[in-house]
Amino acid sequence: MEPEAIAILFLNQSEPPWGEFNLSGLSEEEQDTKPLFGIGIENFLTLIVFGVIFALGVLGNSLVITVLARSKPGKPRSTTNIFILNLSIADLAYLLFCIPFQSTVYVLPTWVLGAFICKFIHYFFTVSMLVSIFTLSAMSVDRYVAIVHSRRASVLRVSRNALLGVGLIWALSIAMASPVAHHQRLFHRDASNQTFCWEQWPNPRHKKVYVVCTFVFGYLLPLLLISFCYAKISGSQLWSTACSGKAAGAPGWFVYLLRPQVRLIAASTGCTSPLQANGGCGKGGQHIPRPAPLSAAPIGLERRTVASGRGDRTNLRT
Are 195 and 110 spatial neighbours (Cβ–Cβ below 8 Å)? yes
Give 179's pLDDT tier (boundaries 50, 70, 90).
very high
Lowest mean pLDDT among 28-42, 144-158, 168-182: 28-42
- Any residues with CB less than 8 A from the CB of 52 and at least 6 apart, and which? none
Which is nearest to 14 in space by CA: 204, 187, 284, 199? 204
0.75 cut: is pTM over it? no
Fold of 39-240: Rhopdopsin 7-helix transmembrane proteins (1.20.1070)
Give 271's pLDDT tier (boundaries 50, 70, 90).
low
Pairing of strands 184-189, 194-199: antiparallel
Which is nearest to 22 in space by CA: 52, 8, 42, 7? 42
Are 281 and 122 spatial neighbours (Cβ–Cβ below 8 Å)? yes
CA atoms of 160 and 152, how far apart (whole Å): 15
User: Which pLDDT score is estimated for 178?
Assistant: 94
Residue pLDDT, tens place only, 200-245 = 898 989 999 999 999 999 999 999 999 899 888 877 765 555 555 5
The average pLDDT across 119-132 equals 92
Give 260's pLDDT tier (boundaries 50, 70, 90).
low
Are 111 and 197 spatial neighbours (Cβ–Cβ below 8 Å)? yes
Q: Tell whether the model's pLDDT for residue 155 goes beyond 70.
A: yes
Q: Is 155 helix (H, G, I), strand (E, B) or coil?
A: helix
Domain segments of the chain as ranges: 39-240
